[in-house]
Chain A
Amino acid sequence: QVTLRESGPALVKPTQTLTLTCTFSGFSLTTSGMCVSWIRQPPEKALEWLALIDWDDAKHYSTSLKTRLTISKDTSKNQVVLTITNMDPVDTATYYCARTRSNGGGYMDVWGNGTTVIVSS
């Protein structure tokens, strides 16, 4: 069974750096075609894809946010970490990680439950 779980602080102050961790099980990020994406959703708004890391350690970022994002993986711990610098209240959102299958489609077939982050002083 494939599962993913997001963890991180529920509250951060403006200008701080947010670090989120995705801990997964049931698949390996060393398997060809396996990736993990981060996606966020502000309250009552649409989904926004943020970043992806693949089995070969290639990294891809949202064009609009790439200067603030860093994605990394620790395959020994089955974790993917996303950092977002210079947090702002507009970054308040639920943050999801999702397994992403690049072979044959680039689709996100299993999602975590999400973690809510509020940016406020």
Chain B
Amino acid sequence: DIQMTQSPSSLSASVGDRVTITCRASQSVSRYLNWYQQKPGRAPKLLIYVASSLQSGVPSRFSGSGSGTNFTLTISSLQPEDFATYYCQQSYSILTFGPGTKVDMK
């Protein structure tokens, strides 16, 4: 199976900060990489699909980039509602999620 890693595992940031989360795959997944946001006690929410396509209704401060094995999720200006855990997920082969990155308040 394709293994996914994320870095950092957690980060502390302030409202207005630019935040970047990295996701790496153990082998190429082309652009079949999706990003989700999860808040405590809630189901995950799709943010970005196929590496860089913004899901309908998701604010434009979220963006994704990358291909092959290296991907990034960027929040251009962190808002209070963005404090959450973020997961990447590859869909190139048997689906797998990354371990998550928790974004909390500095």
A residues with a Cβ closer than 8 A to B are 37, 39, 46-49, 52, 60-64, 96, 98, 101, 104-109, 111-114
Residues A46 and B1 in contact in the complex (CB < 8 Å), given A107-B49, A111-B44, A114-B43: no
Bound Cα distance A107, B49 (Å): 6
* Sampled A-B contacts (5; CB under 8 Å): A60-B94, A105-B34, A106-B91, A111-B43, A113-B43
Residue from B43, B44, B53 having most chain A Cβ neighbours under 10 A: B43
A108 contacts B44, CB within 8 Å? yes
Give the complex CA separation of A47 and B6 in angstroms.
13
- The reply to whether A105 and B32 form a contact with Cβ atoms under 8 Å apart is yes
B84 within 8 A of A: no
List 5 additional A-B contacts (Cβ < 8 Å) besides A60-B95, A105-B32, A108-B34.
A39-B97, A101-B49, A106-B32, A106-B95, A107-B50
Please count how many residues in chain B sit with their CB below 8 Å of the partner chain's CB atoms.
Answer: 24
Q: Which B residues lie within 8 Å of A114 (CB)?
A: 43
**Interface contact A108-B100, CB-CB below 8 Å:** no
In whole angstroms, how far apart are the Cα atoms of A105 and B100 in the complex? Answer: 20
Q: In the complex, A105 Cα to B47 Cα: how many Å?
A: 13
Q: Mark B67-100, 1 if CB is under 8 A from A, else 0.
A: 0000000000000000000010101101111111
User: SS class of chain B's interface: helix, strand, loop or mixed?
Assistant: loop
List, in ascending order, chain B residues with CB within 8 A of A106's CB: 32, 34, 91-92, 95
B19 at the interface (CB under 8 A from A): no
Residues of B within 8 A of A96 (CB): 43-44
CB pair B97 A105 closer than 8 Å = no
Contacts A107-B50, A108-B46, A114-B43 hold; do A49 and B97 have CB atoms under 8 A apart?
A: yes
